[in-house]
Amino acid sequence: MLTASAPPLPCPSSASWARSSCPYPSPESRFFFTLDALIALGCSAILHGFCFLDPVWLPRWSIGPGRISYGLYVYHLMVITLVADLLGRFSYHFYWLFVFLLALPITMLAAKLSYMFLESPFLRLKRRFEILRTRPV
């Protein structure tokens, strides 16, 4: 004889999602799942770059982040830390989502400004000191 059971109650969301025994994913774990998917997408883009495919196959929007990638690498931790400290004074459920949504555009802006005002002048200066190899006569 089959009996109908009541649907399970939703588990409360807690900041310690890793220690929770709740069978349902918390909002924080869904965020990290999404973040993992974005990291996988970035890794596939890097792998695509190492395959030496013609740049015609790349979408135009993907070239800009490639130019500022060093700035993204340099500034991301500083910006995430600053945003997390600023938002750390508040307590709410989607804390890391707000940190991510605020830190990403600030990091991209810092990387773009760094590329424009620091990296580009040095790249232009590099051309003055290049050694041009010529064939012997």
Q: What is the mean pLDDT of each run of 10 residues along the chain (137 residues)?
A: 52 49 62 80 74 69 78 91 84 79 92 92 85 76
Residue 134 falls inside a structural domain = no
Nearest to 18 by CA among 28, 8, 4, 10: 28
Residue 103 falls inside a structural domain = yes
Per-residue exposure over 39-71, b if at least 16 CB sit within 10 Å of its own CB, e if not = eeeeeeeeeeeeeeeeeeeeeeeeeeeeebeeb
Residue 35 falls inside a structural domain = no
Please state the domain count of the chain: 1
Q: In angstroms, rounded to a whole number, what is the distance separating the alpha carbons of residues 72 and 110?
A: 8
Are the beta carbons of 20 and 14 closer than 8 angstroms? yes
pLDDT value, residue 41 = 81
pLDDT value, residue 18 = 47
Residue 33 falls inside a structural domain = no
pLDDT value, residue 15 = 47
Residue 135 falls inside a structural domain = no
pLDDT value, residue 53 = 65
pLDDT value, residue 82 = 92
**If you count them, how many residues does the chain have?**
137
Residue 96 falls inside a structural domain = yes
The residues, any chain, with a CB within 8 Å of residue 123's CB and separated by 6 or more, are none
Residue 111 falls inside a structural domain = yes
**Which structural domain range is residue 113 located in?**
63-126
